[in-house]
A and B are shown apart, each in its own frame.
Chain A
Amino acid sequence: MTEVSIEQLTKDYGQGPAVDGISVRIAEGEFISLLGPSGCGKTTTLKMIAGFEDATRGAIRFDGRDVVHVPVEKRDIGMVFQNYALFPHMTVERNLAFGLEMRKIPKTEIRDRIAKVLDMVQLTGYAERYPRQLSGGQQQRVALARALVIEPKILLLDEPLANLDAKLREEMRVFIRDLQRRVGITTVYVTHDQAEAMTMSDRVVVMFGGRIAQIGAPSDIYERPANLEVAEFVGQVNIVRGKVVNSIVSTPLGDVPVVGHYADGADITLALRPEAVELLPVTAGVAGVPAKVLSSYYSGSLVDYRLELANGTIVNVQTFPRTRFRDGETVLVHAPADRFWPLGSVA
């Protein structure tokens, strides 16, 4: 198992940095995701870790050894590509044997290791198939097996689920996560899909414009986003602005006490996740802010509401569909004060 440490890593193609001095330490056996919109530098970072791109500045250390000048083929990485990149002229077995042959592993051992890895990805019996004879999910698993069979120091995955249909994608998330836990390999996973990053990773690195916006466990990223950009990229969010007076912010959804160093009179932005808000029918004696239902979207397990407060503020709310409200109906909105998360002062 390998610890990967990235220090001040920078890539500049000549028109400003694509990756701008990022630093991360990835622990042995950790599953880390690089999450961000396209063009944020996540794929470039992965390619630099793999060695396909040269770093303009900075260091990449595998167990303390700087590998920046080590060519890809000597870096001992396992990589899964977006379109799998299975060699079309080779059977599954030949694909899996390729990396082992490069390492001059004896034939008998190659056979044993292929059998073992095929069992691991549940493809025993598919050794003689050609890639085009496999389904998308099967190709995906062969690509994983090919990267793992060489027992690399780290596993790199570049949006590996992007080409699969929705149902298969969810299955593969669980499959890859479980496999990674069993093998215990240090893993870097690139994706633009926040749900993927959240469900699979130990930690998520959120990137914008070549810089790291936040590093943290999925729950940190979701519940305690570092800034507005992160909050909006990771799931839906209501943004509420207000002034701090005596450590209390008055918002259209009620007063929110804020802890921390906020000067009186400072403008502050608060994030409120739609599912943190409760909706109640208008009944005498129940506290809440009245709001009108503009529209609702039913998706089976959940309902999304779009509401308008008396002052015109729009609030998005997600609830279980136990009680349904009709469009145009007036409801009471209750947002617990501890579910607001401050995103720092408004500039």
Chain B
Amino acid sequence: MSKPFFTVYCLVIYAFLLAPILVVVGASFNAGAFLTFPPQGLSFRWYGVFFNNEVFMRAIRTSLWIAAVTTVISGIIGTMAAIFYVQHSGKLKETVRIAMLAPLLLPEVLTAISLLFFVYSIGVGTQTMVGMIVGHVLITLPFVFINVSASMESYDPAWSMAAQSLGAGRFTRFRRIMLPLIKPGVIGGCLFAFIISFDIFTISFMLKNVGTSTLPIQLFDYLRTNFTPEAAAVSTCSIVLTLVVVVVSEKVLGLRIHRF
């Protein structure tokens, strides 16, 4: 393959990857009542409709709330597991890795089904948010784990030993030495957990509480029956929100997010 052809090929794939996202953003500025092409003029009309739609606004608040709770729980549990993981070796280490990545490798729909049955069989049901949050924690845990253990790889255990030899107890060693040094990984993992949680669909769909929907569920329900560009406006706001989080973390905090 010649070089220019190769470059063009890659550009086509990138365009393919971006196309549906750009189309959604473009459609949100459609002034018409339906998703028609070419658009009937540009306007922010559907953003106005969206911002005054209490159903969507409530869904956004629910999503943000769940994502926040999920991030805190996932961040703590995942960070602890990652610290354990890098301090061990051999078979135990490999077992921990596979177990921690399992929620990512198992089909989300199966995990959702299993959790649905489970919350009913233990008598909790979907009246509370417990099942939904547990599901979100399961799905986001691998991302915290991957990011924190990646930053732990460059953490020299001798730093902890040096601090201990200078008189620092367990908690001080963690707070003054380890945490500041693995902070990029912890923050990166938490941001990723937040974004993923905000976008989780299947788990939320199966475990949703009657009357409270997250944004992806609300959007999905809406799309089954409606074709107005309001959905595009909602989607665009969701994309922009994520983009802000990523740009802030990468440019302002100078973080590198590890996904694999």
Contact = CB atoms under 8 A, between A and B. Distances in A.
So, do A and B actually touch in the complex, CB under 8 Å? yes
Interface of A: 50, 52, 71-74, 76-79, 81-83, 85-89, 98-99, 102-103, 146-147, 150, 156
Interface of B: 156, 158-159, 161-169, 172, 176-177, 180-181
Given A89-B180, A89-B181, A83 B168 contact: no
Contacts of A82: 158
A87 B159 contact: yes
Contact of A87 (B163, B167, B169): B163
A197 to B, nearest CB: 22
Main secondary structure of the interface of B (DSSP, over half): helix
B167 A83 contact: no
A297 to B, nearest CB: 39
Contact of A85 (B159, B168, B172, B180): B159
18 contacts: A52-B161, A72-B161, A72-B164, A73-B164, A77-B165, A79-B162, A81-B162, A83-B158, A85-B156, A87-B162, A87-B163, A88-B181, A89-B180, A98-B163, A99-B167, A102-B166, A146-B162, A147-B165
Contacts of A73: 164-169
B166 A146 contact: yes
A70 to B, nearest CB: 12
Nearest to A72: B164
B167 A103 contact: yes
Contacts of A156: 165
Contacts of B176: 98
Nearest to B183: A89
B152 to A, nearest CB: 14
Nearest to B158: A85
B161 A150 contact: no
Nearest to B176: A98
A77 B164 CA distance: 10
A69 to B, nearest CB: 16
Nearest to A143: B162
A155 B122 CA distance: 58
A154 to B, nearest CB: 11
Contacts of B159: 85, 87-88
Contacts of B168: 73, 98, 102
Nearest to A94: B176
Nearest to B180: A89
Nearest to B177: A87
A77 to B, nearest CB: 6
Contacts of A87: 159, 162-163, 177, 181
A314 B81 CA distance: 60
B161 A81 contact: yes
Nearest to A52: B161
A72 B168 CA distance: 9
User: Which 8 interchain pairs have the tightest Cβ spacing?
Assistant: A99-B166, A102-B167, A85-B158, A85-B162, A79-B165, A72-B164, A81-B158, A73-B167
Given A87-B159, A88-B181, A102-B172, A74 B167 contact: yes
A243 B168 CA distance: 61
Given A74-B167, A87-B159, A102-B168, 17 more contacts: A52-B161, A71-B164, A73-B165, A77-B165, A79-B162, A81-B161, A81-B162, A87-B162, A87-B163, A88-B181, A89-B181, A98-B166, A102-B166, A102-B172, A146-B166, A147-B166, A150-B166
A15 to B, nearest CB: 15
A79 B166 CA distance: 8
A73 B174 CA distance: 14
Contacts of A71: 164
Nearest to B172: A102
B68 to A, nearest CB: 28
A304 to B, nearest CB: 38
A89 B184 CA distance: 12
